[in-house]
Amino acid sequence: MSAPRTIALQRAYDAPGARDGYRVLVDRYWPRGRSKASLALDEWARELAPSTQLIHWYDHQPARWDAFRERYLAELGVAAQQERARALLRAAKRRRITLVYGARSETGNQAIVLREALLALETRMRPLAVAGRPG
């Protein structure tokens, strides 16, 4: 069985790196003051971002983090979101994925939750090993 894919997180205000792999903006709204060229994106997955209502409710308040995480995971659990997430994983092929986000917080943002969901989904997508053959 192959090793799990690396899914990195990076603020939209940090410069892209040569080893970022497949770069995906995961915000519903475009980051202020950033051009398309400066972000060097392969994809803008705004549909995978938290709902507008959830973004406004959370308001990056640390006391709401656990509830935000649970609510966002519930949003990502809907069939249409699962298919969008699978499409993102397929588009990246086996390359490293860098989830780009605009939030100031490196410890309380949607990219953390989306990475968790993507890694779990990828684990479920892997073919099972057949006896005598690697998976």
Is there a domain that residue 11 lies in? yes
Is there a domain that residue 130 lies in? no
User: What is the domain count for the chain?
Assistant: 1
From CA 42, how far away is CA 67, in angstroms rounded?
31
Is there a domain that residue 36 lies in? yes
From CA 15, how far away is CA 17, in angstroms rounded?
6
Start-end of H helices in 34-78:
36-39, 52-58, 65-76
Is there a domain that residue 33 lies in? yes
Is there a domain that residue 22 lies in? yes
Is there a domain that residue 132 lies in? no
Is there a domain that residue 39 lies in? yes
Does the pLDDT value for residue 122 go beyond 70? yes
Average pLDDT, the chain: 91
Average pLDDT of the segment spanning 98-115: 95
Average pLDDT of the segment spanning 44-73: 97
Is there a domain that residue 52 lies in? yes
Does the pLDDT value for residue 133 go beyond 90? no
- Provide the pLDDT for residue 26: 98
Taking CA atoms, 30 is separated from 7, 45, 52, 66, in Å, by 21, 11, 13, 25
CB 50 within 8 A of CB 72: yes
Does the pLDDT value for residue 135 go beyond 60? no
Expressed as residue numbers, the domain containing 120 is 7-125
Q: How confident is the model at residue 125 (pLDDT cuts 50, 70, 90)?
A: confident
From CA 78, how far away is CA 2, in angstroms rounded?
27
